[in-house]
Amino acid sequence: MSTRTPVDVAIKPWSDFEVAEQLAFFQRNREAFAPWEPTRPPEFFELRGQRLVNDYARAEWEAGRSHSFGISARGRGLVGRTSISNVVRSAFQSAHLGYLVEAALWGQGVATNAVQLTVREAFTTFGLHRIEAAIMPRNVRSIRVAEKCGLVQIGMSPQHLRINGRWEDHILYAITVDEWSARQASAG
């Protein structure tokens, strides 16, 4: 499975990318991602650590609990990752959305296009009703991506996640399948 947008951004399951390419992606962006990510153990930046990440992503996909995608763009191979995680079924039919893109491509629309593809997959392929994203208030680029993709602010969660060794407040954003469908209808 691979899905593309008109600006040459594609997503496909994370485990479809070579582990060495995944490792190189995280090594290239280690410093740039540090302010926005949980503190990673040293083995995360080694081949064996990425094999474990890849195995976990595959198992979570197969169990329907999480769907991680690698992003390719502009002929550069793996340049990012999106995820639909913490999938809850039954009456909730909801999940969390996460995304990160190669620092060299920030501000070029890659994240926006990849998130649009990921949200579409969440609603059309995985049948979810709602997607939520939690974003630190100072992460203005990520907020802009969420807003461009139709997610709306629904609240604030104090000390929501431990990021880079510190508990960080997060703004909560969400979109439902009905809101997404209305946006699609008005765009086309």
pLDDT at position 139 is: 97
pTM: 0.93
What is the Cα–Cα distance from 119 to 126, expressed in whole angstroms?
A: 10
Give me the pLDDT at residue 1, please.
Answer: 54
Q: What per-residue confidence (pLDDT) applies to 125?
A: 97
Q: Cα separation of 101 and 29, whole Å? A: 9
Measured between alpha carbons, how far is 97 from 131 in angstroms, rounded to an integer? Answer: 6
Residue 110 has pLDDT above 80, yes or no: yes
Partners of residue 174 on adjacent β-strands = 132, 152
The pLDDT tens digits of the residues spanning 122-160 come to 999 999 999 999 999 999 999 999 999 999 999 999 999
Where do the domains of the chain lie?
A: 3-187
Q: 20 vs 24, 50, 99, 114, 165, CA distance in Å?
A: 6, 8, 20, 22, 27
Rounded to an integer, the average pLDDT of 48-54 is 94
Concatenating the DSSP letter of every residue in 12-51 gives EEGGGS-HHHHHHHHHHTHHHHGGGSPPPPGGGGSHHHHH
CA 77 to each of CA 9, 72, 127: distance values in angstroms, whole numbers, following the listed order = 10, 5, 28
Q: Can you give the pLDDT at residue 75?
A: 80
pLDDT at res. 4: 46
pLDDT at position 7: 59
- Please tell me the CATH code under which domain 3-187 is placed: 3.40.630.30
The residue that leads in pLDDT, 123 or 187, is 123
Mean residue pLDDT of the chain comes to 94
6 pLDDT higher than 50:
no
Of 74 and 112, the structure prediction assigns the larger pLDDT to 112
Q: Above pLDDT 90, what percent of the chain?
A: 91
Residue tagged 């503190």 (tokens): 39
Q: Read off the tokens for 22.
A: 């995944």
Q: Which among 172, 160, 174, 100 has a CA at the least distance from the CA of 131?
A: 174
By C-alpha distance, which of 174, 178, 176, 158 is closest to 166?
Answer: 158
